[in-house]
Amino acid sequence: MSLDPVHEQKLRSHAVELGVDPDFAVAVGTQESGSLGPSARSAKGARGLMQVMPATSKEMAKKYGRDLARQGVAYLGEMEKKFSGLVDGRKFALAAYNAGPTTLAKAQARAKKRGLSPGKFSDVERFLPKETRNYIPLVLGNLVKPMKPITPAKKPVLKPALPPPIIGYPETLYGFPSRVRGPLIRTSSGSLL
């Protein structure tokens, strides 16, 4: 499942404009709408590339205009900023984006009530809806994989240089007398012809 290049570029442009990681926005958009693009609609009423719920769209339109893709990227950015101080801030942002900040806050309250840390995602995750628990690793899996760091190449093992081909007579080869008569030619591999 992937976005059409035109829609991907649209999300990337909005992300750059709004200060959101473009790869993160594309990963969410890919999971939310996939190949359906802006025509995607969910059974719950979410619409567009980023599957923005009507109530969220109404609120985001006040600051970011009517473009649903722009609203979704902006909302994702707000969620990411809200949870940026936490170790797993991106997972919390995805949980809030998918289930809503209120559902996430309730999960955090349940974790705290049980003596767990509301700021530790592994403690909160079990109290989130199953759909959200499944959603987060899917989005993270959509992120563009970073390239492996470039490591310096191993230094090549240098073989001793072979002497240049020698054309000559064996009796004068390297100044030693030889029993072989006639011209000799040394090949690049070092053997004599």
Question: Catalytic: which of 8, 32, 78, 80?
Answer: 32
Dihedral (Cα; 14, 25, 64, 19), 10-degree rounding: -70
3-class SS of residue 160: coil
CA distances from 35 to 61, 137, 144 (A): 25, 19, 17
Q: Quick check: is 32 catalytic?
A: yes
**36-68 burial: b if 16+ Cβ within 10 Å, else e:** bbbebeeeeebbbbbbbbeebbeebeeebeebb
Q: What is the DSSP string of 67-132?
A: -HHHHHHHHHHHHHHHTTTSTTHHHHHHHHHHH-HHHHHHHHHHHHHTT--TT-HHHHGGGS-HHH
Percent helix / strand / coil, the chain, rounded to 5: 55, 5, 40
Active site residues: 32
